Amino acid sequence: MNDFAKQFEDLRIWQEARLLAGAVYREFGTGSRAERDYGFRDQIQRAGVSVMNNIAEGFERFSPAEFAHLLSIAKGSCGEVRSMLYLAEDLQYIAAETAQNQREKAHGISKGIEALAKTLRTK
């Protein structure tokens, strides 16, 4: 089904999403300024993991349409991470430069997800 990769781990967007999820956990985990803001931490961490997991789940599905649908969910979660990074900056949980850097990475992932979904929809 997937001419561009043999397994989801081969996808550049999944690799980048994995790095983003790890960065979210490091930035907002134990010892961070957000450590006691459990609602915030839970929301941004779940969104970060959702990006990589929906890419993986979609890859493992049986049709390009299902994959494209799950990529759409991953893209939404990517937007959620970006939005939460603004809040993290506003609450001074992370430095403005760090937040901007992570938002740029998330935006790049979002663009990659969109490009792959577009390719799948033309199949």
pLDDT number for residue 20: 97
CATH 3.40.50.300 assigned to domain 8-121? The reply is no
Parse the chain into domains and list their residue ranges: 8-121
Q: What is the pLDDT of residues 59-105, one digit of tens each?
A: 999 899 999 999 999 999 999 999 999 999 999 999 999 999 999 99
Question: What does the radius of gyration of the chain's CA atoms come to, in whole angstroms?
Answer: 15
Where do we find the tokens 């931490």?
41
Query: Nearest 5°: CA angle at 51, between 39 and 78?
Result: 75
Q: How many helices (H) and strands (E) in the chain?
A: 4, 0
Encoded tokens for 109: 């992932």
- Is the pTM of the predicted complex or chain greater than 0.85? yes
pLDDT number for residue 1: 46
pLDDT number for residue 62: 84
What residue type is 119 in one-letter code? T
